Amino acid sequence: MFMTRSFAILLLVLAVYGCGRKNPLDVDISGIKCSPVKIRRYDLDLFSLNTDDLGRSVKQFQGRYNVFLGDSLDDPSKLSILREYLIDPRNQDFYKAVKARYTDLSEIENGLTLAFKHFIYYMPSFRVPGVYAYISGGDYEYPVQFADSVMVIGLDNYLGKNYSPYLADGVSRYNLERMDEEHIVTDCARLLANSTFPIPSGGNSLLDIMVEAGKRLYILDAMMPGTPDRLKIGYTQAQYDWIMKNEGHVWAAIIENRMLYSNDGRVVRVFTTDGPFTAEFTKESPPLLGSWIGWQIVRKYMERNTETSLASLIQEKDAQKILSVSKFKPGK
């Protein structure tokens, strides 16, 4: 069957139009200077020390791990605290599990290198942090920390959802789903993005908070363009599938129940607070549905404004403007 002449012309127009619309996140980082990330294994090195002669043994790290050990390695009180940390059975178990699980960090290092290049692209003054692995002793609230151009990753927080000490410690099920290797680079990038790109508050309505959350997720789009959406927002595959199927219903519920412009703290918390699910919907629903919707609004806004820079997006406080320009309207 031959195409009609008019249909052929339509396809040509669409092709030209498609080629002309550049994805604003499709940036060239080939010329970005960034040394490959090499994670320093403080976790393994520290637990290799001889605890029976710790004062002498630890001096091999003089100047190498000052971020953890400080400048002086002769303080008896510090050495005593360090020894207690090293011989603690819980920390020993974490160390053994990390040593067995993380023999090679090259994929994490490559992922961080790529993310750092994108950070430099958008913020040339960005200083690439030194990255260290360590045993946090189960600091589940802060699996990754960043300060003063140093990033530390508690690898004992990424041993998989079936790691028995997590269950014994009562870690919530929804957090367990994120405690594995594939979430490490995303957690690092999210922490850096929140520290590097402060977002001015535009208001307290649900729309304001959703768009602000959407901007934060869009920054992750920019820093990690090849990373699956479910990892950036912290969904399981089942939760991601749910929102892909029900996005229109979520938006309809917000509009029909007149919640979009609500300043009610309870409403805002329901849609933008992490948890096992969103209380207004079924237990199969993911949390952070407001954050997801805000993300899609911001994406549509940027698709329709390809000349808008990331910095300009971040500084735009008018959430209503972003919504209006985006023409966001998901199908049911």
Total domain count for the chain? Answer: 2
- How much is the pLDDT for 127? 93
**Is there a single domain that holds both residue 222 and residue 316?**
yes
Its pTM stands at 0.90
Contact 154, 139 (CB under 8 A): yes
**Is there a single domain that holds both residue 155 and residue 287?**
no
Is residue 184 situated within a structural domain? yes
What does the alpha-carbon distance between residue 84 and residue 68 come to, in Å, rounded to a whole number? 15
- How much is the pLDDT for 46? 96
Tell me how far apart the 2 most distant CA atoms of the chain are, in Å: 87
What does the alpha-carbon distance between residue 120 and residue 108 come to, in Å, rounded to a whole number? 18
**Is there a single domain that holds both residue 262 and residue 291?**
yes
- How much is the pLDDT for 26? 80
- How much is the pLDDT for 25? 87
pLDDT digit of tens for each residue in the chain (332 aa)?
Answer: 334 443 333 333 333 333 444 567 889 999 999 999 999 999 999 999 999 999 999 999 988 999 999 888 888 999 999 999 999 999 999 999 999 999 999 999 999 999 999 999 999 999 999 999 999 999 999 999 999 899 999 999 999 999 999 999 999 999 999 999 999 999 999 999 999 888 988 899 999 999 999 999 999 999 999 899 999 999 999 999 999 999 999 999 999 999 999 999 999 999 999 999 998 899 999 999 999 999 999 999 999 998 899 999 999 999 999 999 999 999 75
- Residue in the structure block whose two tokens are 């997801």: 292
**Is there a single domain that holds both residue 99 and residue 223?**
no
User: Which residue, 211, 220, 214, 294, is CA-closest to 250?
Assistant: 294
What is the arrangement of strands in the sheet containing 150-154, beginning at the earlier edge strand? 40-41, 130-134, 150-154, 144-147
**Is there a single domain that holds both residue 190 and residue 212?**
no
- Residue in the structure block whose two tokens are 């550049």: 22
- How much is the pLDDT for 168? 93
- How much is the pLDDT for 157? 98
Backbone angles phi and psi of 49, in degrees to 5: -70, 150
Is residue 239 situated within a structural domain? yes
Is residue 6 situated within a structural domain? no
**Is there a single domain that holds both residue 46 and residue 161?**
yes
Tokens of 265: 């703290």
DSSP assigned state of 132 = E
**Is there a single domain that holds both residue 186 and residue 215?**
no
Is residue 1 situated within a structural domain? no
**Is there a single domain that holds both residue 164 and residue 234?**
no
**Is there a single domain that holds both residue 44 and residue 191?**
yes
Is residue 8 situated within a structural domain? no
Report DSSP letters for 136-192, one per residue: -SS-TT-SEEEETTEEEEEGGG-S-TT-HHHHHTT--HHHHTT-SGGGHHHHHHHHH
Structural domain containing residue 283: 206-326
- How much is the pLDDT for 281? 94
**Is there a single domain that holds both residue 295 and residue 210?**
yes
- Residue in the structure block whose two tokens are 């789009």: 221
What does the alpha-carbon distance between residue 83 and residue 59 come to, in Å, rounded to a whole number? 14
**Is there a single domain that holds both residue 168 and residue 217?**
no
Report DSSP letters for 54-79, one per residue: HHHHGGGGTTTSHHHH-S-S--HHHH
**Is there a single domain that holds both residue 128 and residue 243?**
no
